[in-house]
Amino acid sequence: MTRAYNAPIARERGAAAIMANVAENARKNREHDPDFHDAHEPDDEEPLFDYDAAKERVRGKKVACIGSGPSSLTCADELAREGVDVTVFEALHKVGGVLSYGIPEFRLPKRLVAREVATLEAHGVKFELNAVVGRLYDIPELMEDMGFDAVYIASGAGAPIYLGIPDEMYDGVMMANELLTRTNLMRAYEFPESATPLFMGRTCVVIGGGNVAMDAARTVRRFGADVTIVYRRSREELPAREEEVLHAEQEGIKFRFLTNPVEIIADDRGWVRRLDCVKMELGSPDLSGRRRPVEIPGSRFPMTVDMVVVAVGNRPNQLVQESTPGLAVDDRGRIRTDKEWHTTNIPGVFAGGDVTTGAATVIQAMGTGKEAARSILGYLGRL
């Protein structure tokens, strides 16, 4: 099983693939989400912080980075290189965030993540694992009681979006995040040698059309299951990168386009046995610019399954937001920040990555982490 899971059908090129598709991802994000913003260059107005003047005054200052995904790690590295005392607080037992739990081994070997973490530690960055900010600590406590001069919130967008259809929580139905975390982080494919079991069906439907759906489908395929991806729009509207779609097809994964699930049916033991879907057609464009999928009356049909993986999107977990009095968020739970400086409405508290934009790319998250570090250095230099 381990060999089947780790065997790369398409050779690893995770970071390179993302780099090569940054422009296309940014275009798609703008098209699909009118509220999405890219990081942008400073304008000609007077800067909020004087970065160059601050560099000599920041040594010994303390900064807490919440989360250990790409945005937080990039920010921590930039700060540590300037002599800032940085501590990264990670809720899980391993560093890396989505790099560790979300991206499969066949796309991003975990040895590369471990190497980057070791480099950060060599630069003086400290890591607190199993440290859930919002439960064990909150931001006021970090700043007022633990002596941190600034906080960078980069807790990501790890909360799954549900389908909202009847009986979604039957046995055999999993969120893609859970599937990927169990396999990538907890090595469920080695059970019982590992401590984490994972039910794996023989006939699986993955619902969704993004990169996470492709990762989930390709992961399940490596366990030997027959996998079909169900997507409510056409192939042309798939938000996943084209090369990820091609890899999935090359690995024997089937696609059913213009198909939308409406009900999950289970047996008398509560195990999923059928997924009822309806056929769709494309109507007029919606706010994202894509043509809106419209149900075809009388088109309901069953799909026989024993496993369903839901991969229709993620949103920011609200634990940090809800435990921080007065922190401004938008109607989607994303932390509101200045687009250039990544400041929040609370002095000394900065935020970036998916917790501010919604689910985006690793490169975009790294970009905001780098920009936020520059702003934090300027802020620390004024203290």
Specify whether 118 is located in the same domain as 223.
no
pLDDT of residue 288: 77
Of 282, 312, 342, which closes a domain?
312
Same domain? 235 vs 114: no
191 and 294 housed in the same domain: yes
Looking at residue 324, its pLDDT comes to: 94
Residue 236, strand partner residues: none
Domain C-terminal end among 262, 297, 312: 312
Whether residues 58 and 88 fall in one domain: yes
pLDDT truncated to tens, each residue of the chain (383 aa)? 333 333 333 333 333 333 334 334 434 444 444 443 433 333 444 455 555 555 566 778 999 999 999 999 999 999 999 999 999 999 999 999 999 999 998 899 989 999 999 999 999 999 999 999 999 999 999 999 999 999 999 999 989 999 999 878 899 999 999 999 988 887 666 655 666 767 788 999 999 999 999 999 999 999 899 999 999 999 999 999 999 999 999 999 999 999 999 999 999 999 999 999 999 999 998 887 888 999 999 999 999 999 999 999 999 999 999 999 999 999 999 999 999 999 999 999 999 999 999 888 899 999 999 999 999 999 998 76
**Same domain, residue pair 253 and 358:** no
Instruction: Supply the pLDDT for residue 190.
Output: 66
Q: Are strands 259-266 and 254-256 parallel, antiparallel or unpaired?
A: unpaired
Rounded Cα gap, residues 17 and 291, in angstroms: 28
Q: What CATH number does residue 236 fall under? A: 3.50.50.60
Shared domain check, 265 and 192: yes
How many beta carbons lie within 10 A of that of residue 374, not counting itself?
A: 20
Q: What is the pLDDT of residue 382?
A: 74
Domain-located, residue 15: no
Does the pTM of the predicted model rise above 0.75? yes
Both 169 and 237 in one domain: the answer is yes
Phi, psi dihedrals of residue 171, rounded to the nearest 5°: -60, 140
104 within 8 A of 184, measured Cβ to Cβ: yes
Angstrom distance (rounded) from CA 353 to CA 367: 8
Shared domain for 264 and 323, answered yes or no, is: no
Structural domain that includes position 365: 33-158+315-382
**How close are the terminal C-alpha atoms of the chain, in Å?**
55
Query: Within a domain: residue 25?
Result: no
The answer to whether the beta carbons of residues 344 and 326 sit under 8 Å apart is: no
Roughly what angle, to the nearest 10 degrees, separates helices 362-382 and 70-81?
40
The answer on 39 and 141 residing in a single domain is yes
Does residue 292 share a domain with residue 234? Answer: yes
**Where is the domain boundary, 287, 312, 337?**
312
Are 136 and 180 part of one and the same domain? no
Residue 139 lies in a domain: yes
CA quadruple 355, 357, 358, 363: dihedral, nearest 10: -90
Q: Is residue 18 part of a domain?
A: no
* Number of domains, the chain: 2
Same domain, 97 and 189: no
